[in-house]
């Protein structure tokens, strides 16, 4: 029996798309979506049509061709006969190298400057204020050029190290500071040398385990074990003993002046150093402000409570204030790391062959494939930035306020 009538069915009328608030937002979102899609379609078709009119096509075949140019610093095997793709990878690694170095250095500088800026010592806090304001408010490109120019102008040329009575001499007979870069000794590992390195790495693990144990003892029994000196001892003593017992299996290759340049050892190019320090000092100033904001965000009550419990000022900073400040510090820190990576593309100003210099510079020029290389360049930077964000987000989740 179908006497039970259906509830009155609300018929859908077209006008409801505009008049009914339930549907209106969908209507407008749909219209906006269509407009954006149409705009992209128009730009895309315009691009394709004009490229065809100009007789050009989009092709990535050039990546397999020999690049034909040399790169002054490569972390992988690379010759001028390698492909453009390999040149791009070499550039990518150079970008990562300078970014990682600069991120680490900037963090150290930033945390130190941020903490010191809150110091009660008037001179120290004012000095840090001057540092922050000076470096934060001048474009990083200018700092890169200033540091590079100072290096080339002040440091002696390699030829100054030549002769019986040279104008310049090597520091400790091992380090040469020239206007082309810094030459440092390179460790040469004999087979037993790797054993020493292994011992050293195991000692580091041991030191970490010891510190965990010390924390556990502290929490379980309330006994405070000394950590600083035992850590140093655990890390260094076994490695030093192994080094001498195994008959000094690690030698140093000291850079020597031969021909035009120093050879042997490890070369830190002047351009790398200039870029690295400029990025580190510049971004360090921003991080210092972050750190200061983070510390000031921790209420004074926390500090006072910790002091009332009898903690010393340094312990208060390390155990109470900084852990709470981290959740304020870390999110903006991610964006500073991203900025370092992106600012490293200013490398061409000092002739450092990063990704922009190889793929977006010489490869682009020699092949003339501007659209392809720029798209690829964007993709590479996007991938680097997203990876950094992902890693830092994991860290951020670890330090953020745990709500239980």
Q: Which residues bind another protein (CB under 8 A)?
A: 40, 43-44, 46-47, 50-51, 53-56, 68-72, 79-81, 152-153, 157, 159, 179-180, 258-261, 263, 270-271, 348-349, 351, 353, 357, 361-362, 364-368, 370-371, 374-375, 378, 382
The structure tokens 């001499």 sit at: 169
Report yes or no: 111 and 129 within 8 Å, Cβ to Cβ. no
For the CB of residue 296, give the shortest distance to another protein in the complex, in Å.
Answer: 30
The structure tokens 């700092």 sit at: 143
For the CB of residue 78, give the shortest distance to another protein in the complex, in Å.
Answer: 11
Rounded to a whole number of angstroms, the distance between the first and last alpha carbons of the chain is 56
Q: Which is nearer to another protein, 303 or 367 (CB)?
A: 367
For the CB of residue 52, give the shortest distance to another protein in the complex, in Å.
Answer: 9
Burial of 294 (0-12, 13-18, 19+ CB in 10 A): buried
For the CB of residue 112, give the shortest distance to another protein in the complex, in Å.
Answer: 31
DSSP reduced 3-state for 370: helix
For the CB of residue 288, give the shortest distance to another protein in the complex, in Å.
Answer: 26
Torsion of CA 29, 34, 39, 41, to 10 degrees: 140
For the CB of residue 55, give the shortest distance to another protein in the complex, in Å.
Answer: 5
Q: Which is nearer to another protein, 104 or 386 (CB)?
A: 386
CA neighbor of 56 nearest in space, from 369, 362, 367, 365? 369
For the CB of residue 139, give the shortest distance to another protein in the complex, in Å.
Answer: 17
Backbone angles phi, psi at 182, to 5 degrees: -110, 130
Q: Which is nearer to another protein, 73 or 105 (CB)?
A: 73
The structure tokens 């800026």 sit at: 117
In Å, what is the CA distance from 261 to each residue of 72, 183, 255, 258? 13, 10, 10, 6
Q: Which is nearer to another protein, 242 or 346 (CB)?
A: 346
Burial of 392 (0-12, 13-18, 19+ CB in 10 A): middle
Which residues, 6+ apart, have CB-to-CB distance to 270 below 8 Å?
Answer: 148, 151, 152, 155, 178, 179, 180, 181, 182, 350
Torsion of CA 150, 151, 152, 155, to 10 degrees: 110
For the CB of residue 19, give the shortest distance to another protein in the complex, in Å.
Answer: 33
């Amino acid at each position: 029996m179908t006497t039970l009538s259906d509830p009155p069915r609300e018929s859908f009328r077209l006008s409801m798309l505009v008049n009914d608030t339930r549907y209106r937002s969908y209507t407008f979102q749909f219209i906006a979506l269509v407009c954006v899609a149409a705009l992209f379609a128009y730009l895309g078709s315009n691009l394709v049509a004009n490229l065809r009119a100009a007789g050009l096509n989009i092709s990535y075949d050039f990546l397999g061709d020999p690049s034909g140019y040399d790169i002054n610093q490569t972390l992988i095997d690379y010759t001028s006969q390698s492909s453009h793709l390999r040149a791009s990878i070499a550039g990518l690694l150079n970008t990562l190298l300078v970014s990682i170095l600069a991120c680490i250095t900037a963090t150290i500088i930033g945390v130190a400057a941020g903490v010191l800026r809150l110091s009660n010592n008037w001179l120290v806090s004012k000095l840090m204020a001057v540092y922050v304001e000076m470096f934060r408010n001048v474009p990083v490109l200018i700092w890169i050029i200033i540091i590079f120019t100072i290096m080339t102008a002040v440091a002696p040329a390699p030829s100054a190290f030549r002769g019986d009575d040279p104008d310049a001499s090597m520091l400790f007979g091992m380090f040469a500071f020239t206007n082309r870069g810094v030459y440092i000794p390179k460790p040469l590992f004999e087979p037993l040398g790797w054993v020493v390195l292994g011992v050293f790495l195991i000692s580091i693990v041991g030191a970490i385990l010891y510190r965990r144990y010390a924390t556990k003892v502290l929490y379980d029994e309330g006994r405070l074990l000394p950590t600083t000196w035992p850590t140093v001892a655990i890390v260094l003593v076994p490695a030093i003993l192994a080094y001498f017992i195994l008959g000094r299996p690690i030698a140093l290759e000291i850079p020597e002046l031969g021909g035009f340049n120093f050879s042997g050892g490890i070369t830190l190019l002047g351009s790398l150093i200039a870029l690295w320090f400029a990025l580190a000092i510049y971004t360090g100033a921003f991080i210092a402000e972050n750190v200061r904001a983070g510390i000031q965000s921790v209420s004074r009550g926390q500090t006072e409570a910790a002091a009332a419990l009898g903690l010393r000022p340094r312990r208060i900073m390390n155990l109470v204030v900084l852990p709470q400040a981290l959740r304020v510090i870390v999110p903006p820190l991610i964006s500073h790391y991203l900025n370092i990576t992106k600012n490293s593309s200013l490398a061409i100003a000092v002739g450092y062959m990063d990704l922009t210099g190889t793929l977006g510079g010489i490869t682009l020029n020699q092949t003339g494939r501007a659209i392809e290389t720029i798209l690829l360049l964007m993709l590479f930077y996007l991938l680097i930035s997203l990876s950094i964000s992902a890693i830092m987000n994991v860290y951020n989740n670890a330090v953020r306020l745990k709500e239980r």
